[in-house]
């Protein structure tokens, strides 16, 4: 017979959890007391805020492929997880979040730090539960891990009352292998495979779009095999980046509002559109009424809720894309489409002439964000991980970072959470201290979670933070410039001395304002063994192009 608090910790150890990201408090105190005795079996990372804890767990999960674990107290501790839960839910990140709760007899009495976190978190979780008895703790945690990691991954929350944590019970951990009515995987429809193969074999201008589903299914090799056999041009979503090396001959670029020119424009010229592990997000489709209406659509997707939700599929293949891609590859005929591919390369050259020169080499004005990313590519390792916040820097870093391996990009995609990057970079780095983790942030987003510099200091994680400082909320300012007559309403920032702040947290810190200093500063940062903070002062009114404005069609992508 052991305490419920010990059952919590031993259950996490039974699931081979490596890290817990958390912050202690009254209602979770018994579990933290239990953790004191298991420090040799599971590591706890004390973040500076609960939002930092869940974003760090997201970063860890996205790079490792494992379930991230979060541990916080009740009330404000639990409510501070809500943004991270919503972020993880829309970006399909597997998390198990354990929250403390007041004792069962106090529920509903408005006790100190009592909040209905189950009710609050329900829309932003894949599943949640409140545990009120000690004997229910281990089964609830086992079920939570099973649901979080299987099918389309997502966050799960387990709320445990304080009485359950201090009561004694038997511990016999049984991993969950299935839940009645929950069927995360289905058998691939053979007819759908043959129907899709027939459309592909007859296509003159086939086009493949791939998303994070390829990464989650570990189907990178299957994607390459399909493209090698069919010779079909392939473009990625924001979260699909890295699933296919950018030097692959069939890779044609990135989709979306600030993606590449050819992948967006030619979406409305293909005759067969193959979507693999992506959900047709509005940032990819633009105006749905004018999206790929000329094409037959083949959708390979695990989550049935995503099929026909935004774009009607001619052929839908529900199932794990590792399996469906493999079967589809066997069914299609070998082919190649040189004239169709040539059109992608022609438009790619147009984009390079119109956009790349200034972005990457600064042909006029002050330093540009793209120049920093170009130099990072020059000095980084092939397996370096890019972690970005949200805004202009996110889009520039995504556009120009050289992704060579899978699981090398971590960002907030669907929710667009400012403040995500710094704690997420910490979580990514803790998975492997030997890999380069490059955290690119803006001066707005970093100040939302800047206190997590303290967590990086305490863990000694060698995160490389690159602050692209334009003294603006840059993405909002760009929209104000283009669509609101340059009425810069509350987007200019008066910033602190970031170098002093970084140095106070024991970072090696450098500030660059001159182009001649940039290359040596980037090289020094990436060679440095510990955490490093590089601030680069960039052009204040720099814009990100290409761009598809809200409400426009993908073929209305603009280069300036």
Which is catalytic among the residues 475, 478, 498, 507?
Answer: 475
> CB-based burial of residue 476 (10 Å sphere; 0-12 exposed, 13-18 middle, 19+ buried)?
middle
- Strand, helix or coil at 327? helix
In the annotation, is 269 catalytic? Answer: no
Annotated catalytic residue within 112, 168, 483, 484: 112
Report the distance separating Cα 389 and Cα 350, nearest Å. Answer: 29
Q: Yes or no: say if 246 and 183 are a contact pair by the CB < 8 Å rule.
A: no
Query: Residue 256 and residue 281: Cα distance in Å, rounded?
Result: 9
50 noted as active-site residue: yes
Angle at 452 between CA 43 and CA 122, to 5 degrees: 75
Among residues 113, 451, 458, 481, the one annotated as catalytic is: 113
Residue 172 tokens, joined? 């016999």
Stated as kind and residue range, the H or E segment containing 409 is strand 409-410
The residue from 15, 50, 371, 539 that is catalytic is 50
Q: Which of 10, 126, 143, 162 is catalytic?
A: 162
Largest CA-CA distance found in the chain, in angstroms, rounded: 72
Q: Among this protein's residues, is 342 annotated catalytic? A: no
Active site residue 41: no
Separation between Cα atoms, residue 131 and residue 158, nearest integer Å? 7
What is the number of alpha carbons within 13 Å of residue 329 lying toward its C-beta? 18
484 is catalytic: no
b/e per residue 420-446 (b: at least 16 CB within 10 A):
bbbbbbbbbbbbeeeebbbbbbbbbbb
What CA–CA distance (Å, rounded) separates 491 from 502? 24
- Close Cβ partners of 144 (under 8 Å, ≥ 6 residues apart): 96, 127, 129, 156, 157, 158
Q: Which residues pair with 469 in a beta bridge?
A: 537
Find the radius of gyration of the CA atoms of the chain. Answer: 24
Q: Which residues are catalytic?
A: 50, 112-113, 162, 475
């Amino acid at each position: 017979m052991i305490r419920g608090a010990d059952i919590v910790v031993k259950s996490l150890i039974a699931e081979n959890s490596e890290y817990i990201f958390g912050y202690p408090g009254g209602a979770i105190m018994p579990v933290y007391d239990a953790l004191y005795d298991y420090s040799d079996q599971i590591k706890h990372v004390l973040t500076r805020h609960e939002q930092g804890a869940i974003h760090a767990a997201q970063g860890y999960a996205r790079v490792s492929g494992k379930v991230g674990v979060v541990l916080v107290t009740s009330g404000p501790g639990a409510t501070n997880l809500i943004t991270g839960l919503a972020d993880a839910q829309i970006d399909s990140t597997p998390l198990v979040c354990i929250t403390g709760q007041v004792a069962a007899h106090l529920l509903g009495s408005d006790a100190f730090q009592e909040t209905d976190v189950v009710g609050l978190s329900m829309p932003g979780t894949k599943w949640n539960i409140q545990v009120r008895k000690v004997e229910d703790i281990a089964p609830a945690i086992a079920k939570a891990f099973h649901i979080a990691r299987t099918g389309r991954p997502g966050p799960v929350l387990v709320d445990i009352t304080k009485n359950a944590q201090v009561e004694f019970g038997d511990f016999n951990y049984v991993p969950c292998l299935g839940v009645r009515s929950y069927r995360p995987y289905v058998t691939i429809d053979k007819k759908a495979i043959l129907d899709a193969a027939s459309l592909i074999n007859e296509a003159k201008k086939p086009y493949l779009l791939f998303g994070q589903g390829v990464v989650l299914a570990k189907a990178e090799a299957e994607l390459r095999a399909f493209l090698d056999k069919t010779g079909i041009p392939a473009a990625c979503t924001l979260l699909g980046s890295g699933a296919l090396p950018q030097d692959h001959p069939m890779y044609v670029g990135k989709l979306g509002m600030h993606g590449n020119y050819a992948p967006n424009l030619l979406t409305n010229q293909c005759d067969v559109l193959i979507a693999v592990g992506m959900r047709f997000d509005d940032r990819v489709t633009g105006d749905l009424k004018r999206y790929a209406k000329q094409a037959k659509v083949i959708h390979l997707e695990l989550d049935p809720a995503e099929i026909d939700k935004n774009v009607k599929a001619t052929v839908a293949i529900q199932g794990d894309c590792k399996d469906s891609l493999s079967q589809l590859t066997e069914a299609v005929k070998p082919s190649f489409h040189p004239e169709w591919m040539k059109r992608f390369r022609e438009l790619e050259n147009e984009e390079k002439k119109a956009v790349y020169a200034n972005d990457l080499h600064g042909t006029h004005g002050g330093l540009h964000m793209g120049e920093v990313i170009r130099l990072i590519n020059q000095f980084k390792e092939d397996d370096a991980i890019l972690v970005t916040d949200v805004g202009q820097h996110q889009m520039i870093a995504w556009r120009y970072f050289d992704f060579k391996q899978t699981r090398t990009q971590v960002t907030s995609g669907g929710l667009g959470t400012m403040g995500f990057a710094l704690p997420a970079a910490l979580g990514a780095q803790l998975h492997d201290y030997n890999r380069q983790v490059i955290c690119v942030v803006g001066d707005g987003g970093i100040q939302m979670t800047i206190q997590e510099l303290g967590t990086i200091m305490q863990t000694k994680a060698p995160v490389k933070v690159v602050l692209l400082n334009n003294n603006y909320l840059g993405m909002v300012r760009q929209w104000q410039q283009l669509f609101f007559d340059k009425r810069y309403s509350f987007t200019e920032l008066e910033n602190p001395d970031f170098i002093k702040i970084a140095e106070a947290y024991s970072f090696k810190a450098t500030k660059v304002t001159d182009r001649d200093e940039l290359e040596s500063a980037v090289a020094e940062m990436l060679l440095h063994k510990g955490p490093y903070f590089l601030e680069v002062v960039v052009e204040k009114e720099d814009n990100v192009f290409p761009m598809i404005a809200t409400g426009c069609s993908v073929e209305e992508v603009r280069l300036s």
